[in-house]
Amino acid sequence: MESKHMSAFALYKTLQPELPPPAKNVVECVCANQIGPLCLLKQHQKKESVTAESLDAVLTELTRVNNSKERASKLFQWLLKPVPAKYFFRETWEKKPVYVQRKNPDYYKGLFSTAEFDRILRKENVHYGVNLDITSYVNGKRETHNPPGRALPFTVWDFYDSGCSVRLLNPQAFSSTVWNVLSILQEKFGSMAGANVYLTPPGTQGFAPHYDDIEAFVIQLEGKKHWRVYSPRSEDEVLPVLSSPNFDQAEIGKPILDVVLEAGDLLFFPRGFIHQGNCLPDAHSLHITISSYQKNSWGHLLQKVIPAALEVAMEEDVEFRRGLPLNYLTYMGVQNSDKVDPRREIFLSRVEKLIKKLPNFAPVDAAIDQKAKEFFHDCLPPVLTPDELATSVQGAPARWENGKVKNVGVHITTQTKIKLLRAGCARLYGGDAVHLCYTIDNSRVYHKEEPKSIEIQTEHTDAVEFLIHSYPNFVTVGTLPCDSVQDKIALAELLFEKGIIHTSEPLQAPPAVQSE
């Protein structure tokens, strides 16, 4: 049965800009079902967990939320508003696109802008192919026009004026607001949150139809853009492992969603959904795509579990170490696959029996820790709130003053109250030794730094676990389950120095140092 779709241009023509804007408490949501017609819903906004409207006000309000998991949930709910997050993950996530039309052009104001784009080109070290791409899609042909070297305004804006699209590949490296938003959202996803910014001239298209290997949240910041979204063409393209090549228009069928995004609108589509966007003749388009869940499937976990399970099985079960039949090559393999030979059935039955035993040897928790280490390397460092800054090592009072060093060191006692800086900022994992990986010192540039970790003494692992599981509550250093008071204080000082914990109140320097 052919899917119906709503014409973007028909929808766009129904808008009447000369009329007063609709009340801000009315939002239209279009849900595209890949196997059925569109459903157009009008719903009144319910009381949200974040009361602020503008992004600046939202981020300010979130600094007063002391639990980073709760902070991430509130920001994600604001991003989707008015679609409830629980409904979204139950009915939409990995399943179908959603279009939220707000008729509020200022909703995402402050996240990114063309003015900031221009500032970045002028002030930052932006390079073609690394940080920025120049693209075009004309007469069915997709091209990249990157010259070598640094991307300067003189050349970039000339490309744009000639009808090329400009894609900023890692805006979080240059924009503190994008960095802040992504660093919060990564705790919601438990997976890297990335972003690209796209600036497209009026009446042009920068990219061919394709699908991606990420869950995509398209946020319209300026102007407007015509989007068409298409169902996966087959089961093999549902939730794909890799992004697709560029498609011809004849290969993709008819769209299930055909809409015009204006500033303040949101479009979500899962990985595997083909999409293309083109600018209308009367306005440019600036949007940011926030993405997550790349290489974060059950299959990616099992790629770690199964080899490890086989290694353990070969160590612990003699059945896995027994030799193959002497003449198995004469009846197994592709060249023998069409043969009717009872020895084949016996061989395949033995393989099946061994495979069924593998779950008994699967080190699932260890494999998950390996996934977690990769995630921690992918993570952005946190943007500290004023309170976190004042009570962590970044805000410690050590300084140079009047020709002398002042307030060196910190005074941690058994009564000092501490907790992790963020719920997701540190994690224990085992191996030849116990390590604590952490995100505090990560770079805003993807994988610019090596993964960060410190070795934890075996006798201190219980204390670190206690800290992790106590979050978001503060605990006194004296309650850490260590063997001695000296161990409790030494561990707290180590974690404070690395920026992994902060205190309930700003620390003072030791009295002996203050008296100098």
| Ranges in the chain, pLDDT < 50 | 1-26, 34-48, 513-516
Q: Give the pLDDT of residue 397.
A: 86
Q: Are 209 and 238 in contact (CB under 8 A)?
A: no
Strand partners of residue 420: 501
Peptide bond into 202 cis (omega under 30): no
Q: How far apart are CA 342 and CA 410, in angstroms?
A: 76
Q: Which residues contact 67 (CB under 8 A, 6 or more apart)?
A: 423, 471, 472
The pairing of beta strand 426-429 with beta strand 165-168: unpaired
Q: Give the pLDDT of residue 407.
A: 84
Q: Give the pLDDT of residue 411.
A: 86
Q: How far apart are CA 456 and CA 430, in angstroms?
A: 10
Q: Give the pLDDT of residue 20.
A: 37
What is the helix (H) or strand (E) element at residue 138, kind and residue range?
A: strand 132-138
Assign domain 55-292 to its CATH superfamily: Cupin (2.60.120.650)
Question: Kindly report the CA angle at 83 between 207 and 283, in degrees rounded to 5?
Answer: 35
Question: Kindly report the CA angle at 278 between 275 and 283, in degrees rounded to 5?
Answer: 145
Q: Which residues contact 200 (CB under 8 A, 6 or more apart)?
A: 165, 206, 225, 277, 278, 279, 284, 285, 286
Q: In this predicted model, what pLDDT tens digit does every residue of 188-245 receive, in sequence order?
A: 999 999 999 999 999 999 999 999 999 999 999 999 999 999 999 999 999 999 999 9
- 3-state per-residue secondary structure call for 174-231: CCHHHHHHHHHHHHHHCCCCEEEEEEECCCCCCCCCECCCCEEEEEEEEEEEEEEEEC
Q: How far apart are CA 61 and CA 145, in angstroms?
A: 42
The pairing of beta strand 453-455 with beta strand 501-503: unpaired
DSSP state of 253: -
Q: Give the pLDDT of residue 53.
A: 78
Question: Exposed e or buried b for every residue in 95-120, given b needs 16+ CB within 10 A?
Answer: bbbbbbbbbbbebbbbbbbbebbeeb
For 365-503, CATH number out of 3.40.630.10, 3.40.50.800, 3.90.930.40, 3.40.50.2000 equals 3.90.930.40
What is the helix (H) or strand (E) element at residue 277, kind and residue range?
A: strand 274-278
Give the orientation angle of helix 68-80 with respect to helix 55-62, to 10 degrees.
160
Domain ranges of the chain: 55-292, 298-362, 365-503
For 298-362, CATH number out of 1.10.3720.10, 3.30.2290.10, 2.70.98.10, 1.10.10.1500 equals 1.10.10.1500
